[in-house]
Amino acid sequence: MKLSRFASDLSARGLLYAIANDRIHAPVPLDAEQNWQLWTEPKSPLIEWLSRAYPPESMRIAYLDKMLDCDHSQGIEAHYDVSNDFYALFLDTKYRFYTCAEFQTDTETLEQAQTNKAKYLLSFLNLAGDEKLLDLGCGWGAMLKFLQDTGHRGELTGFTLSKDQQIYASQKLDLNVSLTDFIATDFASAAYDRILSIGSLEHVRPHELNQLYQKTYDALVPGGLAVHQFFSLTRAAYPTSMVTIQLFFPGSLLVMHQTHIAAAELAGFKITHDSIHDYRPTLRAWYERLVANQSRALELVGLEIFNRYMTFLPISWLFFQQHEADLHRMVMEKPA
């Protein structure tokens, strides 16, 4: 059965997908050091070529088009609604950010690095204190909680498609977070002073991008700002990595960065900032924390989900190491 699945995956989805799926279904917990090295150490030129060239683009497009037929909520629930307590084992303990942190030194804790990131984004938001703000894909409400902690008095609203996240944010943190698909939902015209997203534009499919940027633009007051942190593709629109990522985020497909820029400018935005940041230290920190909490993780979610995240984190590190995508922080202004 195991050999048959690997051969089938190899033929239909390629080498990286086959190896990743095989390790997800390993009969024992993956060895931490061996697993990290498997994904992150340099490979032979032949293996590198094979992992990038197969399946051919026509097969990738056909498979991904089929995966994109599913509803957004299915993919979000598959990744996020496994256990709030499980995520708490490896995310920062203060805010529970599941997005790229900002490590300014090698000795900083994950908590310090995530606070650095939040301060970084806060500086872009340019808040006086009473602005009305919408957080698209707000997760467990980390940035909304940070804004409250730093004294923001304006109305704060968050959207998420994860039931577990919505319950946590609304009941544990008493935040105004609703179970809303921000991609499919219409926004009221000129309803917000600021619109924010951290790690959620990755779930917007290519054909949905223009409409999202346009309705974001329309939902801002004149002079309003949209601040986004997200990663986007650098070289190819349908790389083999997008096939493998379906194991972890079914129904998601990243977009080329120039497509994001074009969609924002078409909507009318003036891009005032676009910087690139390193996701790898955050992924490594999450991995180390998950490894340190292996016993509890297995109790909470079982072997297959534990091995899935043990595979997801280093394969994501490799994704950024090979510069298939970059993590961007962007500020977009709607002219006054």
How many angstroms separate the CA atoms of 239 and 233, rounded?
9
* Separation in Å, CA 293 to CA 66, 107, 306, 310: 36, 21, 10, 12
Closest CA to 161 of 183, 131, 133: 183
Domain of 186, CATH number, reads 3.40.50.150
Residue-wise pLDDT tens digits, 32-88: 999 999 999 999 999 999 999 999 999 999 999 999 988 888 888 888 889 999 999
Closest CA to 13 of 46, 54, 43: 54
> What range does the domain containing 269 cover?
72-302+323-333
Count structural domains, the chain: 1
Q: Does 59 map to a domain?
A: no
The model's confidence at residue 2, banded by pLDDT at 50, 70 and 90, is low
Q: Is the pLDDT of residue 235 over 70?
A: yes
Q: Does 230 map to a domain?
A: yes
Question: What backbone torsions phi and psi does residue 27 show, to the nearest 5 degrees?
Answer: -75, -5
Q: Does 18 map to a domain?
A: no
Total residues belonging to the chain: 336
Average pLDDT of the chain? 96
Q: Does 62 map to a domain?
A: no
Q: Does 45 map to a domain?
A: no
Q: Does 106 map to a domain?
A: yes
Q: Does 214 map to a domain?
A: yes
Rounded to the nearest 5 degrees, what angle is found at the Cα of 74, between the Cα atoms of 68 and 78?
115
Question: What backbone torsions phi and psi does residue 129 show, to the nearest 5 degrees?
Answer: 130, -20
Q: Is the pLDDT of residue 249 over 90?
A: yes
CB count, 10 Å around CB of 203? Answer: 24
Q: Does 261 map to a domain?
A: yes
